[in-house]
């Protein structure tokens, strides 16, 4: 069965790698154009392009998938299935109609929960105990296509969004390969999504989400720290210095007012929260500094209790 793959970041690399390892006939890869980065503004290829080149797979990087020449090129490839994983561009109906069997998308949530741009982060921000990946048939409306299959995984209470991202990428590759096998055998189901008020849309993240509000419960703040890694990161200000907070856990009960610094020692910086418990910050990065253990930071920057 002839496959065309469309993806861009590391998440997509894990999916493509699994398809290659399982010996699916990946005829071509589509990814975003190289982008200038760093001070020299040197053009840098996408992670998917780098991997595809090492495998000898032809790579295409159109500026737009609405261009008739791009659509004609895709038709000439005669794909049975197109697999999409974090491609980063909306696909027109004319492209969705090209593959002989289906065009499927690897989405990093259990649809219909967390349609949208940041499903992994929102699962962690909300303190969910479980998430997964969904293989869906692509439709014109974002993340609204019928479900082909889904795979679940538990979320560890201390796992951050970056760690979960890596695990779901591997799970997505496994699910995509299984979906191709079902399509090849003509056994792939179509389960319509029913999106009701109980489901949350996974909106894009913003810097406005960063500041920690000490009036909130300690567990809510831990989830905020976990869910905003690697960007934009949770933050707070101590003695006029802004910190990004990378690691924290719920501490013991305290009768102090929210925002009170209870201790600053080898165990980290302990701050009272709105539910009567404390948040213990164990890893941070001060403005202008590097990411480090809170205990190491305190050796050179004492914090008043």
Residue found under tokens 């794909």: 79
pLDDT of residue 36: 85
Count of alpha carbons within 13 Å of 60, Cβ hemisphere only? 18
Retrieve residue 227's tokens: 């869910």
Phi first, then psi: give them for residue 51, nearest 5 degrees. -70, -45
Local structure of residue 191 (DSSP, 8 states): B
pTM across the whole model: 0.94
Question: 247 near 225, Cβ under 8 Å?
Answer: yes
Count of alpha carbons within 13 Å of 302, Cβ hemisphere only? 2
| Confidence bin at 141 (pLDDT 50/70/90) | confident
pLDDT of residue 41: 73
Using the predicted structure, report yes or no on whether residue 38 has a pLDDT greater than 80.
Answer: no
Local structure of residue 112 (DSSP, 8 states): T
Domains parsed from the chain with CATH numbers:
2-185 (3.40.50.170), 207-300 (3.10.25.10)
Retrieve residue 9's tokens: 């970041």
Using the predicted structure, report yes or no on whether residue 135 has a pLDDT greater than 80.
Answer: yes
pLDDT of residue 255: 86
- Per-residue pLDDT of 225-278, as tens digits, reads 999 999 999 999 998 999 999 999 999 999 899 999 999 999 999 999 999 999
Round the average pLDDT of the chain to a whole number and report it: 96
Retrieve residue 63's tokens: 């500026």
Using the predicted structure, report yes or no on whether residue 188 has a pLDDT greater than 90.
Answer: yes
pLDDT of residue 239: 85
Strands of the chain, DSSP E: 2-7, 25-30, 35-37, 42-44, 59-60, 81-85, 102-107, 115-116, 130-137, 147-154, 201-202, 234-238, 241-253, 261-265, 268-272, 277-286, 292-293
pLDDT of residue 112: 97
- Per-residue pLDDT of 112-131, as tens digits, reads 999 999 999 999 999 999 99
Give the integer Cα–Cα distance in Å for 61 and 59: 7
Local structure of residue 9 (DSSP, 8 states): S
pLDDT of residue 90: 87
Retrieve residue 105's tokens: 């998308």
Q: 181 exposed, middle or buried (CB, 10 Å; 0-12, 13-18, 19+)?
A: middle
- Per-residue pLDDT of 71-109, as tens digits, reads 999 999 999 999 999 998 889 999 999 999 999 999 999
pLDDT of residue 21: 98
Retrieve residue 25's tokens: 């006939």
pLDDT of residue 142: 86
């Amino acid at each position: 069965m002839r496959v065309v793959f469309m993806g861009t970041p590391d998440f997509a690399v894990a999916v493509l790698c699994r398809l290659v390892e399982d010996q699916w006939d990946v005829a071509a890869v589509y990814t975003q154009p190289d982008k200038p980065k760093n001070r020299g503004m040197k053009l840098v290829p996408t992670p998917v392009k780098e991997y595809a080149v090492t495998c000898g797979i032809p790579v295409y990087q159109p500026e737009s998938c609405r261009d008739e020449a791009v659509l004609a090129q895709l038709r000439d490839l005669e794909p049975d299935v197109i697999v999409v994983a974090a491609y980063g561009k909306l696909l027109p109906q004319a492209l969705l109609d090209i593959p002989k069997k289906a065009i499927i998308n690897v989405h990093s949530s259990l649809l219909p929960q967390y349609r949208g741009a940041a499903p992994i982060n929102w699962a962690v921000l909300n303190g969910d105990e479980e998430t997964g990946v969904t293989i869906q048939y692509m439709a014109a409306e974002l993340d609204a296509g019928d479900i082909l299959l889904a795979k679940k995984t538990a979320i560890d209470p201390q796992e951050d969004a970056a760690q979960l991202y890596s695990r779901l990428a591997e799970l997505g590759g496994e699910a995509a390969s299984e979906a191709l096998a079902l399509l090849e055998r003509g056994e792939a189901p179509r389960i319509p999504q029913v999106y009701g008020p109980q489901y949350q849309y996974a909106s894009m993240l913003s810097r406005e989400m960063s500041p920690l509000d000490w009036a909130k419960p300690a567990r809510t703040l831990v989830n905020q720290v976990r869910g905003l890694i690697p960007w934009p990161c949770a933050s707070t200000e101590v003695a006029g210095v802004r910190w990004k907070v990378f690691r924290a856990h719920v501490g013991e009960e305290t009768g102090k007012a929210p925002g009170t610094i209870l201790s600053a020692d080898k165990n980290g910086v302990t701050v009272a929260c709105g539910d009567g418990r404390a948040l213990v910050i164990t890893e941070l990065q001060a403005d202008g500094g590097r990411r480090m253990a809170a205990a190491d930071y305190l050796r050179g920057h004492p914090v008043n209790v």
